[in-house]
Amino acid sequence: MADTDGGISEVVSVILMVAVVVILAAITASTVMGVRMPEEPKTVVVTAVRSGDTIAFTNHGGMNMDRVAEIRCWIGGTGPGDENFTLDTRAGATGTRIVPDPARIVVVGTFVGNESWILFDETV
């Protein structure tokens, strides 16, 4: 009796080898073409705490404080008519604002290289 299934394993192995080569080529091409790894998030902590009608903003610092160019605090959202002010970029800096009603507070850090990250976004 002749074995008629002998060629199937050779065909499957060739297909698998081609798939491996294509995957390796794709990985190499993405590395050569400049696809970057995702950037590490910035670590800076700013809080906004309400006490009665006063909201106290505090810059607690963080690993990336040396790269912070500006910290801007927005009250009510980030629209052109919403109140905003700059909080000092040194750790321990504070600022207060009188806000009688609950409001959305957004704190945005601008880092060296003009890259911005939301540091705080909450209704207080």
Report pLDDT digits (tens) over 98-111: 999 999 999 999 99
b (16+ CB within 10 A) / e for 29-40: eeeeeeeeeeee
pTM for the full model? Answer: 0.65
Which is more confident, 37 or 51?
A: 51
Residue 73, pLDDT score: 95
As a whole number of angstroms, the distance between CA 107 and CA 124 comes to: 12
- 69, 112 in Cβ contact below 8 A? yes
Question: Which is higher by pLDDT, 8 or 83?
Answer: 83
How much of the chain, in percent, has pLDDT values that exceed 90? 52
The pLDDT assigned to 101 comes to 92
pLDDT band at 2 (very low <50, low <70, confident <90, very high): low
pLDDT of the residue at 84: 93
Work out whether strand 94-98 and strand 83-87 pair parallel, antiparallel, or are unpaired. Answer: unpaired
Residue 115 has pLDDT above 90, yes or no: no
CB of 110 closer than 8 Å to CB of 46? no
Whole-angstrom Cα distance, residue 36 to residue 13?
Answer: 33
User: Which residue has tokens 């060739």?
Assistant: 14
pLDDT at residue 113, rounded to an integer: 83
Domain range list for the chain = 45-123
What is the pLDDT confidence band of residue 31, given thresholds at 50, 70 and 90?
confident
Classify domain 45-123 by CATH number.
2.60.40.10
Euclidean distance between CA atoms 87 and 71, whole angstroms: 5
